[in-house]
Amino acid sequence: MRLLLDTTYFLPAIGVLVKGLPKDAPIKLIRLGHRISMSEITVFELAAKGAKYVVTGRLKAERITRGIKAVVYDERITKIPLHDSTILLTAFRLRRFLSDFIDCLILSSAVNRSDALITEDEDIRNLGKRELQEIFQAVNPEFRIQTLKDVL
């Protein structure tokens, strides 16, 4: 299955552990035969989150940059570009339902290029409005939003 992973699952790569989630989730999914992708906006989110930890002295900047490079250069992870017109157009439509445009870009990347978005984000998982389902139907009728537990 083609899975786009939300940023949360890449945080351990920069040294940020997420309670309740395995630190090697992308590796586990790859080993199960899934094809993993990520939105390029995830790189920005990793840097932004890492910056908070660097400023407070909880992580070193070098740790963040090493982790980001590891994710970016991992050939097993497909990177979905932000400048793709279909990604942007769908993200603009999704903006009516999500206040965070970064989430719109991630969800749009998933709808357009994957079978499922894997996320723990409650705002995204609770989307159920009819218009939103119409977007999914038009772009990718088989698309679904799942949590990591759903696929592991």
Q: What are the domain boundaries of the chain?
A: 2-151
Distance from the first to the final alpha carbon of the chain: 12
Enter the tokens of residue 37.
């992708």
Residue 35 pairs in a beta bridge with 2
Q: How many CB atoms lie within 10 A of CB 49?
A: 18
Task: Supply the pTM of this predicted model.
Answer: 0.95
CATH 3.40.50.1010 for the 2-151 domain, yes or no: yes
Measured CA distances, 27 to 89, 118, 123, 134 (Å): 31, 14, 26, 33
Q: Long-range contacts of range 55-59, CB-CB < 8 Å, 24 or more positions apart?
A: 59/14, 59/15, 59/16
C-alpha dihedral over 45, 112, 147, 23, to 10 degrees?
-40
Give the integer Cα–Cα distance in Å for 130 and 59.
Answer: 43
- Beta strands (DSSP E) in 21-99 are 35-39, 77-80
Q: What is the pLDDT along the chain (152 residues), one digit of tens a residue?
A: 999 999 999 999 999 999 999 999 999 999 999 999 999 999 999 999 999 999 999 999 999 999 999 999 999 999 999 999 999 999 999 999 999 999 999 999 999 999 999 999 998 988 877 778 889 999 999 999 999 999 99
Per-residue pLDDT at 142? 93
